[in-house]
Amino acid sequence: MTIADRASRILSVLEREYPDAKPLLDYRNPFELLIAVILSAQTTDAQVNSVTPELFRRFPGPGELARAPVEELEGIIHGVGFFRTKAKNIRGAAAMLVERFEGRVPDRIDDLVSLPGVGRKSANVVVSHVYALPGIIVDTHFSRVTRRLGLSVANDPAVLEREIGAMLPESSWTAFSMCVNYHGRRCCTARKPACFRCAVRKLCLYEPKTAAAPAEER
């Protein structure tokens, strides 16, 4: 079995395991998703979801957010990590949307990564979930699980994105990203991977696989 065949089979299994794998960030439009993904860096989706309702109530669009006082933004998003930097980033991104993109969230990766606080991971989230374009979303869960599965040894997210992209057709990129992300959150966790109940155990090359459930989970 080639590595591409194994990646395809892993996707088939995980799609059955996680049939509703969707973004865990709450959003109602492209602008809200963009701002949410900027805020999500190095924090949890739950923390982001706890601050965005008030943020978008006060500043519902790029124009309003671009004019927002940074101190007010810091107060609203104080619950997320690096809130001072993120306050400047979301305000700067909103200003660029107004100045360069007529208030519209762009659908090109190169345009998205030109916005403050937006890297390739965030850009791929936006293009795949807003514009239904193929995207490989390399976050910490994706990196960990693909390494354990033996699909890549790359530590550089850009290299990992290219390698996985070469294994699968573009039409599978988003589904693979989301299913692997969910698997990393719910089964193949960082500290204690639940190999005993892993749906892709037989396709996995992770050597320290646990043979049985811990006593408290039997």
pLDDT digits (tens, 9 = 90+) for 46-86: 999 999 999 999 999 999 999 999 999 999 999 998 999 99
- pLDDT (0 to 100) of residue 207: 84
Encoded tokens for 139: 């976050």
At 143, list the tokens.
Answer: 């990196």
- Which residues of the chain are in CATH 1.10.340.30 domains? 30-130
Q: The domain 30-130 belongs to what CATH superfamily?
A: Hypothetical protein; domain 2 (1.10.340.30)
Cα-Cα end-to-end distance for the chain: 33
Contact (Cβ atoms closer than 8 angstroms) between residue 42 and residue 81: yes
| Look-up of token digits 């809130």 | 83
DSSP helix/strand/coil, 79: coil
d(CA 88, CA 48): 16
- Mention the CATH class of domain 3-20+137-203: mainly alpha
pLDDT at residue 215 tops 90: no
User: Boundaries of CATH 1.10.1670.10 in the chain?
Assistant: 3-20+137-203
pTM of the model: 0.90
* Average pLDDT score over residue span 109-122: 97
Catalytic positions, written as ranges: 121, 139
Dist CA 182 CA 178 (whole Å)? 6
Number of DSSP helices (H) and strands (E) in the chain, helices first? 11, 0
Enter the tokens of residue 118. 């937006």
Tell me what the mean pLDDT of segment 13-29 comes to: 95
Backbone dihedral angles phi then psi of residue 59, each to the nearest 5 degrees? -130, 80
Q: Tally Cβ neighbours within 10 Å of residue 207.
A: 7
Share of the chain above pLDDT 90, in %: 92
Going by C-alpha positions, the residue among 133, 177, 80, 136 that lies closest to residue 90 is 80
